[in-house]
Amino acid sequence: MGGDPEPGLAALAGYRRAFRPCAQQPEPRVAISLDVLVADTAAEAADLLLPEAWAMARARTTGTFPALEPVAAVRTAARTPRQQRYLEQTAAAAIAGTPAHVERRLAELLDRTGAAELVAGSSTFDRSALAASDAALTALFGRARSAGSTPAMALATRP
């Protein structure tokens, strides 16, 4: 739902219309999951996104999920037009940027969808940059929760 939200929003509206309450679930509940990467600059965040997006593009065109590669290798990798489209689609479905940008985009996403829960996860080749991104995202969630402005959020964690 990151790039073109209309199909996702239409699906959410359909879910809410078709929802039938029961004792365990009296109201429809929406949880959203997406890749979220935070860095000091937009360019750094975009670079963090590249290894996962490229691996997803390759997986969709070869049927196997390869190991993540360094950004430099991804930038110079030969790709088919189909792989390029998948890479762009994966990147568009994620939220990546500075803390202020990510905070704004997540707030907009939650407002548009009415989601009660956000599951944010990500992966990249550079593990220390990934740890820094996770820490920045955790700080954003902590600030938002202490301000009482954010629904329940779960963070995907890595070993």
Residue range 90-134, pLDDT digits in tens: 999 999 999 999 999 998 998 889 898 888 888 999 999 999 999
Residue 143 per-residue DSSP state: H
Residue 72 class from Cβ within 10 Å (0-12 exposed, 13-18 middle, 19+ buried)? exposed
pTM of the predicted model as reported, rounded to 2 decimal places: 0.82
Written as one letter, the residue type at 47 is D
CATH of domain 5-155: 3.20.20.30
Domain ranges of the chain: 5-155
